Amino acid sequence: QVQVVESGGGVVQPGRSLRLSCAASGFVFSSYGFHWVRQAPGKGLEWVALISHDGSKRYFADSVKGRFTVSRDNSENTVHLQIDTLRPEDTAVYYCAKTRNFGDYGAFDFRGQGTRVTVSS
Amino acid sequence: DIQMTQSPSSLSASVGDRVTITCQASQDIRNFLNWYQQRPGKAPNLLIYDASYLETGVPSRFIGRGSGTDFTLTINNLQPEDIATYYCQQYDNLPWTFGQGTRVEIK
């Protein structure tokens, strides 16, 4: 059974850093790319980042480029999103989603409930 | 970036109705278009992938059509559990982008 659990959110002051984690199980982790998608309070969905199945490619939305980094550990079945220099506009629920198909492209398969990040002084 | 425009932004319909949501891309995205349902307080859930393919476990009353720049999601025989916000999303070009969402309510 496919499971994804996001963690690491919380209330953080502007300018600080935060590391979100995504732990997965129930499938061949190393065969799938992983995305991070966020949703600000009362707003729509925004794609944030993708890390390819083997970790060799990373892509970011312009709104987070230079402040967000993404990594994965295929031996631990985990993906991490490092968020530096947090801004109030980073306040959102962050979802980790695997790609629906083998590889790095295609639809998002959301299995977790997200982790909430609040940036406030 | 490819802009995805959904209409309407919200709609209200009765149980048993047929509702249609449209999604227009700012450029040709072939069939690289997905639809998601997000119930209140929950994570999004994939309904339709590659414009017209029904995700496993999704009721057959959900139908996706279109290619190029114009797409539709039709919900036949609207049910109370269909109360949600629906999003289209393209993956033809980076960055992947979503429509602004369509909120569906029951009259």
Summarize pLDDT for A70-90 with one digit per residue, the tens.
999 999 999 999 999 999 999
pLDDT-above-70 percentage for chain B: 100
The two three-digit tokens of residue B59, written as one number: 């009721």
pLDDT at residue B80, rounded to an integer? 97
- Whole-number pLDDT of residue A49: 98
pLDDT the model gives residue B46: 98
Please state the rounded mean pLDDT for residues B54-72: 98
Taking only residues 91 to 120 of chain A, the set having a beta carbon closer than 8 angstroms to any beta carbon of chain B reads 95, 100, 105-114
Query: Which pLDDT band holds residue A30 (cuts at 50, 70, 90)?
Result: very high
Q: Span B22-40, mean pLDDT?
A: 98
Among the listed residues A76, A70, A75, A64, the one whose alpha carbon sits nearest the alpha carbon of residue A104: A70
The whole-number average pLDDT for the span A30-52 is 98
- In this prediction, residues A16-32 reach a mean pLDDT of 97
Q: Which tokens belong to A80?
A: 């991490």
For residue B52, the model assigns a pLDDT of: 98
A-B contacts (CB, under 8 Å): 58
- The neighbour count for residue A50, using CB atoms within 10 Å, is 25
Per-residue pLDDT at A52 = 97
Can the peptide bond before residue B95 be classed as cis, meaning omega within 30 degrees of 0?
yes
Q: Quick one: pLDDT band at residue B18, thresholds 50, 70, 90?
A: very high
Chain B interface disruption, residue of A2, A5, A47, A113, most B CBs within 10 A: A47
Mean pLDDT (chain B, rounded): 98
| A5 within 8 A of A112, measured Cβ to Cβ | yes
Task: Note the pLDDT of residue A96.
Answer: 98
CA nearest to A53, candidates A69, A77, A37:
A77
Mean local confidence (pLDDT), B57-64: 98
pLDDT value at residue A18 = 98
Q: What is the mean pLDDT of chain A?
A: 97
Interface test with B, best of A38, A99, A108 (most B CBs within 10 A): A108
